[in-house]
A and B are shown apart, each in its own frame.
Chain A
Amino acid sequence: MAQVAQAIKPRAGGQIWKRVKLLTESPVGMVGVFLVLFWVVVAILAPWLAPYDPNANDPSTVPDHIDPMMDPTPNSVYLLGTDNQGRDLLSRIIWGSRTVLIVAPTATLCAYAVGCLLGLLAGYYRGWVDTLISRFSDIVLSFPAIVLYILIITRLGPSALNVIVAVIFIASPQIVRIVRGITMEQRELDYVTAAKMRGESSLYIMMVEILPNTRGPLIVDACLRMGYTTIQIGVLGFLGLGLPPPAPDWGGMIKDAYAMMSTAPHMSLFPAIAISSLVVGFSLLADGLREISLRD
């Protein structure tokens, strides 16, 4: 009997570990974890992994190698070939992962902070607060996202910071929608009434009683949104609104190369593979997380 009691008793910190274990049972989720972790490791180890300076023209010192200006296709010196300026594609992709993996999570996180706050306020207070926040969100949502991105970035100028500002502005209304809905449901539940009856402040109720219970749907949404933001950053780079040159930027690399799609497809193909593998990684991870959340 004692062993049984031991088995039932939850261990401290066992919850998170249990969830990780559950995730390992979802093949889809594991592929996602693998893809995302792959790029995270690449970004962290970029200085050691990248064979050459990403911004140098024909950086190799190997004697007698093929001149990138004559033949930019992959060869034994430049494993993924070189771009139209003779820069090593592999090194640029490796360094470019840093840009994406810093900008996308930061932007998503900031969008969440803003979206959660506004969503909580709208759902909790309702009335005119809700009308104000919801109408504003509706207006933002009614514009095509890409038009808004172009508008904001051309106004503020291309930089990592402004990309983040644009993502916050465009993504947070959708987060507001989700959080507002959950908050409206939660505020009617008995434990919120109990909190009011013991005299908790509205801020406490929103932050401590309601916010933690929105995490289930939000974690899944955050993973999807991370992928979506990655695409957006790629698109902005492609439009020339990403990071200012010569910083390596996957979207920008495609833009520089797409004119030569027929003669040198590798120049746009490899950055495109990089973007899509990361995006697919994020969505598979989201699928895996959703699968776990349905299990218990």
Chain B
Amino acid sequence: MTASQTGQASSLDRQPAAAKLAQPILEMRDVCISYVVRAGQIDVVPNISFSLAKGEALGLVGESGCGKSTVAYAIMKYLGGAGRITGGKILFDGRDMGQMSPAELRDIRGSRLAMVYQDPMSSLNPTMRIGTQLEEVPMIHMGASREEARQRAVKMLGEVNLPDPEAIMDRYPHQLSGGQQQRVVIAMALMAEPDLLVMDEPTTGLDVTVEAAVLDLVAQLRHKHDTAIIFISHNLGTVLRVCDRVGVMYFGELVEEGPIREVFTNPRHPYTRGLLDSIPTMGADKRSRRLSPIAGQVPSALLRPDGCGFASRCSFCDPARCLTGEIPTISMSDTAAHHVKCVRINELPQHRRFQVVSEDPQEAMADKEQAEVLTIDHLHKIYRQSVGPFGGATRDVRALTNIELRAQRGRTLAVVGESGCGKSSLAKVLTGIELATEGKVKLIDWDIGSTPVEARSQAQKKSIQMVFQNPESTLNPSHTIGFVIRRALQRLKGLTASDARKQAQDLLRQVNLPVEFAARRPRQLSGGQKQRVAIARALAGDPAVVIADEPVSALDVSVQAAIINLLIDLQDQRDTTLVFISHDLAVVRFLADSVAVMYLGRVVEYGSVEQVYSPPFHPYTEALLSAAPVAEVGKERERIILEGTLPSATKPIPGCAFATRCPRKLGGICDNEPPPEQVTPQGHRILCHIPMSDLIKLNYQAAE
């Protein structure tokens, strides 16, 4: 546990051993990146140094606003009008990029240096065929003829595992799915065989199964082409899958950097520890431990304090040493390439992950039967679309097929599945924004499935409320926080203005927001704070059921943990039933009591959280679980990659909806006959042709 202190370490000492042998492909030496705004020059990344060897993959992680993307854009020398590199050097293959002429920069961008952005749709030109866009790269950078370029493009599309590359060449971007588009972007980036590929959240908008396939592809192509990668992500699990080394960024500084397995198993910087502690893991649930969020938020870059940037949120902060002077970067002696920017590094206790047990874990309540608050029976939802030039003809889109779910008082029913599985349609029917086509939705004593929200009684409206996904659109930008909550109290509880004012303060306190926030407007709040207000608004009328549609998926992990804890606490105090819609399996594992896995409008598996997360699995659940990125060393699973395409929702499906992509497909029976619903005495339901006993065996075989 001894460490050698190198003070303001020059970047040369800090190169990993491997990189010393050969020239690194990229070297950042004391680089300072600033934005020039009206208020003056803001150093968003005051001083960053690292180097990257040929073929190496470095992950950059941290909350939003920590400067990860700024670093990526600085490497591309593409900071926009206001951005400047105000200090240090960026060496690309030994040459200072600051000295390069614009023509030289243009020449290496695209040929030796390529970037993949988060949104594939915005990196593809919607008016050009995929083929034409791909052919441009070798034609411009290598002087290839159109014919050669075309051959290379087809070969590359094959390498990124796109089925039928020739056909894809002639398509337009909008004719491809999100996952296919991102593969095309990756193919385009790799066309010129770049030495360095910068990927900025390349899988954030994708579904887990698609994400898993793209990540595998990146890892595979990297080894094949010996490409160095800078991989930026807020998701620690995805970084673990792709990278050799990881750099943790906070407030524009690289606070910890080292081999990824070393950093994840033995995190040294308090911020890295905080990040790792705030994510739920597949093994834990709300009864065994609580999540530990990092208090506070990333401060504004305008007010860079003296000393350590993390001090204001750090539980180990020693005011005497942390708040003044330059914080040195210390190399850990046990692993040569592990550097940490913290003065107290040798005094901190050994970090033990997953040992954070709450003082009062929720008592096991699985066996206590509770009253059913929400009962969904044989629910179907069919959207009628008009087609044809005059809208005369119609076609049916089956959004929900034969849904049967139960939610008990004070419990959490989670609905998981990928985009397009019908989760949101279900929420819309429950809230009365859409009406059920067939079947029953029973809320306490009322049948609300065919009552639109406008026609519901005040008692019914009061009993079911919703928390939305997008913190940006959940609050009206024109209204103050206080107004939003007071109005909800007045409408749902029938309070007078003065009573509402008092209770609004209580509600704000319950969601852990200062009372002064009542006077603020949404744009003065962070994403997590907005979600807290949205939760307060939903709880204003003491609803029996709260539907939470991906309430944390737009938030940083540290904030996500706090919101999940808040939901658990409030549910505990108020005995509210939570219908939690999510695509994040780890969060669902942590929070839910019972889980429904949805695929293409059907519930393919339903049971208690223990039942769903242990064999027998529905083949789709199995694939989802294997695809979910896990930020735990040694817990990575064998991945099941789903091939095949989703069947169209407009045509009736005679057999199993999952048959086209199922890795365990039996044969014709899956295509032609609807799967039977198998139910265990304990209430675990699986919709599959394979008998449950065989599903258990299959899983054990896979484990061996």
Q: Which residues of A contact B (CB under 8 A)?
A: 4, 8, 10, 12, 25, 189-191, 193-194, 196-200, 209, 212-213, 215
Contacts and interface: CB of A to CB of B under 8 A. Distances in A.
B400 to A, nearest CB: 19
A157 B38 CA distance: 54
A4 B468 CA distance: 33
A10 B476 contact: no
Given A10-B524, A198-B491, A193 B461 contact: no
26 contacts: A8-B300, A10-B519, A10-B520, A10-B524, A12-B519, A189-B473, A190-B469, A190-B470, A191-B474, A191-B476, A193-B433, A193-B466, A194-B474, A194-B534, A197-B431, A197-B453, A197-B464, A198-B487, A198-B488, A198-B491, A198-B541, A199-B456, A199-B461, A200-B491, A212-B476, A215-B478
A193 B478 contact: no
B591 interface: no
Interface of B: 38, 300, 303, 431-433, 453-454, 456, 458, 461, 464-466, 468-470, 473-479, 487-488, 491-492, 519-520, 524, 534, 537-538, 540-541
Contacts of B431: 193, 197
A213 B478 contact: yes
A25 B39 CA distance: 13
Contacts of A190: 468-470, 473-474
Shortest beta-carbon contacts, A-B, top 10: A212-B478, A190-B468, A198-B491, A191-B476, A189-B473, A190-B474, A190-B473, A199-B461, A196-B453, A198-B492
A191 B475 contact: yes
Interface centre among A12, A189, A191, A215 (most CB of B within 10 A): A191
B520 to A, nearest CB: 7
A57 B358 CA distance: 94
Contacts of B465: 197-198
Interface centre among A10, A198, A209, A215 (most CB of B within 10 A): A198
Given A194-B466, A196-B453, A209 B476 contact: yes
Contacts of A25: 38
A186 to B, nearest CB: 9
Contacts of B454: 196
Contacts of A194: 466, 468, 474, 534, 537-538
Interface centre among B468, B470, B473, B540 (most CB of A within 10 A): B473
A292 to B, nearest CB: 12
Given A12-B519, A190-B470, A196-B453, 9 more contacts: A10-B524, A194-B534, A196-B454, A197-B453, A198-B487, A198-B492, A198-B541, A200-B491, A213-B476
Given A10-B520, A212-B478, A213-B478, A191 B473 contact: yes
Contacts of B491: 198-200
Interface centre among A10, A196, A199, A200 (most CB of B within 10 A): A199
Contacts of B492: 198-199
The main secondary structure of chain A at its interface with chain B is helix
A7 to B, nearest CB: 8
A84 B473 CA distance: 62
Contacts of A191: 473-476
A296 B212 CA distance: 38
A197 B273 CA distance: 41
A190 B487 CA distance: 16
A58 to B, nearest CB: 56
Contacts of B458: 199
B443 to A, nearest CB: 13
Contacts of B461: 197-199
A190 B540 CA distance: 17
A199 B432 CA distance: 12
Contacts of A209: 476
Contacts of B478: 212-213, 215
Contacts of B468: 190, 193-194
A151 B696 CA distance: 83
B178 to A, nearest CB: 21
Contacts of B520: 10
A8 B487 CA distance: 27
Contacts of B534: 194
Contacts of A198: 461, 465, 487-488, 491-492, 540-541
Contacts of B537: 194
Contacts of A189: 473
A213 B473 CA distance: 12
A52 to B, nearest CB: 49
A12 B469 CA distance: 31
A12 to B, nearest CB: 8
Contacts of A4: 303
A291 to B, nearest CB: 13
A209 B476 CA distance: 7
A25 B38 CA distance: 10
Nearest to A188: B473
A26 B184 CA distance: 44
A10 B524 CA distance: 9
Contacts of B473: 189-191
Nearest to B487: A198
A10 B534 CA distance: 22
Nearest to B541: A198
Nearest to A215: B478
Nearest to B461: A199
Contacts of B38: 25
A267 B303 CA distance: 61
Contacts of B487: 198
A199 B463 CA distance: 12
Contacts of A193: 431, 433, 466, 468
B646 to A, nearest CB: 25
A215 B475 CA distance: 17
A197 B466 contact: yes
A196 B468 CA distance: 14
B558 to A, nearest CB: 20
Contacts of B453: 196-197
B310 to A, nearest CB: 15
A257 B228 CA distance: 78
Nearest to A209: B476
A12 B520 CA distance: 10
A209 B475 CA distance: 10
A17 to B, nearest CB: 15
A243 to B, nearest CB: 39
Contacts of B479: 212
A215 B464 CA distance: 32
Nearest to B299: A4
Contacts of B474: 190-191, 194
Contacts of A196: 433, 453-454
A123 to B, nearest CB: 16
B142 to A, nearest CB: 40
Nearest to B523: A296
A190 B465 CA distance: 12
A50 B398 CA distance: 75
Nearest to A295: B38
Contacts of A212: 476, 478-479
Contacts of B475: 191
Contacts of B456: 199
Nearest to A202: B454
Contacts of A8: 300
Contacts of B432: 197
A191 B432 CA distance: 15
Contacts of A10: 519-520, 524
Nearest to A198: B491
Nearest to B470: A190
A239 to B, nearest CB: 42
A194 B537 CA distance: 9
A229 to B, nearest CB: 27
A197 B479 CA distance: 17
Nearest to B489: A198
Contacts of B476: 191, 209, 212-213
A198 B433 CA distance: 12
Nearest to A200: B491
B564 to A, nearest CB: 20
